[in-house]
Amino acid sequence: MRRAVVTGGTGGLGRAVVRRLLESGARVAVPFRDERAYRELRAATGEPDALWGAVADAADPAAAERFFAAAAERLGGLDSLAALAGGYVGSGPLEDAPASELPDMLRINLLTLHACCRGALPHLLPRGGSVVTVSSRLAETAGPGAAAYAASKAAVVSLTRSLAAENRSRGVRFNCVVPTTIDTPANRKAMPAADTSKWTTPDAIARVIEFLLSPEAGAVTGAVIPVGER
């Protein structure tokens, strides 16, 4: 039985990943900040006994450390981390963006990942395991109006590759999925005029993440995997 933490588990992609992991027989822990969103997740999964969550600021290293220790105790160990927590801000051209935009994007997308990997590794190393991170196609192709976001997501790729190299011989794998825009209600609301035909469904990404977390992907580490149309 897999024992997994899913950060960002109450979001559009996170819900799909949590659902697939629970359906595969895994036990799952989710840090959250919104009690209502977590209750909705529990109600939607149909597997409330296999799902546990607690309030935690995943970007805070001390809070992340406490959460992962509690999750490992609650689940009976830990072998998987789907590090999905993140966010997007795009305020237009660089000269018009607030000075806080880059620090905000780095905190949400990079520092959260760093804190969670740091919190998870002491529990993953004794038994081996897998970590999957999520970047964005904008990290590769860039685009106007989102320099801070693209930079933070490019840093996610770099951190993933570095941790894959660092932990290859220690039995913990790190891989990164790179989707196109994810087809979630929040993204449709934010971009009502967008062409959604090339967006990627949460379930399509969740299937890739589930595979990368599984023992069947045991030979895969340090990979950066595009998901969806280019």
Distance CA 176, CA 157 (A): 7
- State the virtual CA torsion across 70, 72, 74, 76 in degrees, nearest 10: -160
Is-contact 187 181, C-beta < 8 A?
Answer: yes
Q: How far apart are CA 160 and CA 222, in angstroms?
A: 7
Crossing angle of helices 147-167 and 112-124, in 10° steps, is 20
Pairing relation of β-strands 51-55 and 80-83?
A: unpaired
CB 15 within 8 A of CB 89: no
Q: Is 149 a catalytic residue?
A: yes
Q: Is 10 helix (H, G, I), strand (E, B) or coil?
A: coil
Classify strands 129-134 and 80-83 as parallel, antiparallel or unpaired: parallel
Which residue out of 149, 152, 167, 179 is catalytically annotated? Answer: 149
- Residues known to be catalytic: 149
